[in-house]
């Protein structure tokens, strides 16, 4: 049973990594002001979508939109929802 769980975990990790790589390639270019907090914003966006029972692909996509949105702000500001949703819509067009 433990081995099956480990295999399932590995499959999930590889799937997540492949989706993440795809989303990086599809993230729209923006004029960065600061990268501080981009990783925190990305993780928060992913957790928000996944906790709302969205699929992993959409969760990763929204996470990348949040991370990218955070770079639009100066200093230590995290992303704002308006920018994140706008970027998310742009990223959905790439499908």
The token duo for 88 is 């998310």
Q: Residue 64, class by beta-carbon neighbours within 10 Å (0-12 exposed, 13-18 middle, 19+ buried)?
A: buried
- DSSP letter for 28, please: P
- 3-state secondary structure (DSSP) of residue 80: coil
Catalytic residue among 27, 40, 50, 57: 40
83 as an active site residue: the answer is: no
Q: What is the CA radius of gyration of the chain?
A: 14
Residues annotated as catalytic (active site), given as ranges: 40
């Amino acid at each position: 049973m433990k081995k099956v769980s480990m295999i399932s975990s590995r499959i999930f990790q590889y799937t997540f990594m492949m989706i993440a790589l795809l989303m990086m390639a599809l993230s729209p270019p923006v004029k960065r002001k600061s990268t501080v907090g981009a990783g925190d914003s990305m993780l928060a966006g992913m957790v928000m979508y996944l906790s709302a029972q969205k699929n992993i692909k959409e969760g990763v996509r929204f996470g990348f939109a949040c991370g990218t949105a955070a770079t639009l702000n100066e200093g230590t500001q995290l992303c704002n929802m308006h920018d994140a949703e706008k970027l998310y819509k742009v990223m959905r067009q790439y499908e």
